[in-house]
Amino acid sequence: MLGNAFRKLRRDLAFRHGRRLRQFNYWLLARAAMTMIWVLRLLPVDRALNFADRAARRIGPWIGRHNVAVANLRKAYPQKSDREIQAIASDMWGNMARLAAEYIFLDALFDYDPAATKPGRVEVRGVDHFVEIAREQKPHIIFTGHLGNFELLPVAAATFGMNITALFRPPNNPYLADYILSTRRSTMGSLLPSSTGASFALAAILENGGNIGVLVDQKFSGGLETTFFGRPCESNRVLGTLARHYDCDVYPARCMRLPGNRFRLEIEDKLTLPRTADGSVDVRATTQLLNDMVERWVREDPGQWMWFHKRWEMTGRRRRRRHARPRGEAT
């Protein structure tokens, strides 16, 4: 009895101290990040972004997630040499560092003006789609992936007067989350944190004729079993489910980095969604279609995607089922 009580007390203390240590680590990381932000603000925009890129390419290979990125790249591109794989991983770290640094300079970076005659840092393709979505009094779904600076897409939407609510996943670090959320809200319009009940909030927005923006290239535990780069993965069904229920138009959108710290934002033609025999949107086939769209984008410039994400990790239940022996097989 005393032994059990002692073990419980020890677990409680370990949990309490572990939580405090985790919070301290979050605070320490946030302080370091804010110091780096202060330093970058002292530099001109291009110098700051180029510095962040160079630093990340040196530091990235020493981070544990680098091994995850390299392993994913080898499985996605078995024909590529180790040198090519490492080059893509280096581009990825540069891209991620630029993305982080660009939060500081969003106002200066986004200089697109539909009436301007001289090109700026940002060019837009699919202007007609931006205008049409903003004008139509009906719900739309716009989806993208973690490519280039995907954060510029809602900024562009706001420029065209598009009323859109973007679903986003806040960082685990609460101190950094507060900073990023305040930065996003000042330039990107309405934001909806990804959490329990978010799908109901998205449904309410569509119900009222609003528009939503969704990132679709992350692992979703317990989601639909689909494929990405020919490998099994789990994907969120929410976009397909909402499209079926509201029968609304779905548009692909992406951001591409261009040389010279420039960007191309693009909304492609709306998708023709796969249908079931009764004419309703096929949720599983639609979810796979989204994966295929993102895969096409990634293949065009793999260094602009976040390969360190565990996109192909399956939940334990499915992993066990996949490797289970057939019934009656001898052990």
- To the nearest whole percent, how much of the chain has pLDDT over 70? 82
Q: What's the chain's average pLDDT? A: 86
Maximum mean pLDDT: which of 7-11, 74-78, 163-167: 74-78
Residue 331 pLDDT > 60: no
Identity of the amino acid at 309? H
pLDDT higher at 212 or 28: 212
Q: Is the pLDDT assigned to residue 319 strictly greater than 60?
A: no
Which residues pair with residue 254 across a beta bridge? 266
DSSP 3-state of 144:
strand
pLDDT over threshold 70, residue 5: no
208 is written with which tokens?
A: 């009222």
Phi and psi at residue 103, to the nearest 5°: -60, -35
C-alpha closest to that of 214 among 127, 265, 152, 145: 145
Asked if residues 238 and 202 have their Cβ atoms less than 8 Å apart, the reply is yes
pLDDT digits (tens, 9 = 90+) for 279-315: 999 999 999 999 999 999 999 999 999 999 999 999 8
List Cβ neighbours of 167 (8 Å cut-off, separation of 6 or more): 192, 194, 198, 202, 212, 213, 214, 215
Task: Please report the pLDDT score of residue 17 as a whole number.
Answer: 59
- Considering 86-90, 112-116, 149-153, 196-200, the range whose residues carry the highest mean pLDDT is 86-90
**Residue 49 pLDDT:** 95
- % of the chain with per-residue pLDDT over 90: 60
Q: What's the pLDDT at 113? A: 87
Q: How does pLDDT run across 214-271, given as a tens digit for each residue?
A: 999 999 989 999 999 999 999 999 999 999 999 999 999 999 999 999 999 999 999 9
Q: What is the pLDDT of residue 321?
A: 54
Cα–Cα distance for residue pair 99/116, rounded to 1 Å: 26
Which region among 90-104, 172-186, 256-270 has the lowest average model confidence (pLDDT)?
172-186
Q: In the chain, where are the structural domains located? A: 16-102, 115-317
Q: 326 pLDDT exceeds 80?
A: no
Residue 276 reports pLDDT greater than 90: yes
For the ranges 13-22, 105-114, 281-290, 307-316, the maximum mean pLDDT occurs at: 281-290
User: Would you say the C-alpha torsion 229, 218, 291, 133 has a positive or negative sign?
Assistant: negative
Q: Taken in order 194, 198, 202, 205, is the CA torsion positive or negative?
A: negative
Q: How confident is the model at residue 6 (pLDDT cuts 50, 70, 90)?
A: very low
Q: pLDDT at position 25, please? A: 79
* Distance (Å, whole) CA 28 – CA 94: 23
- So what's the pLDDT on residue 51? 94
Can you tell me the mean pLDDT for 87-114? 91
| Eight-class DSSP state of 280 | S
| pLDDT > 80? residue 191 | no
SS3 content of the chain, % helix, strand, coil (to 5): 55, 15, 30
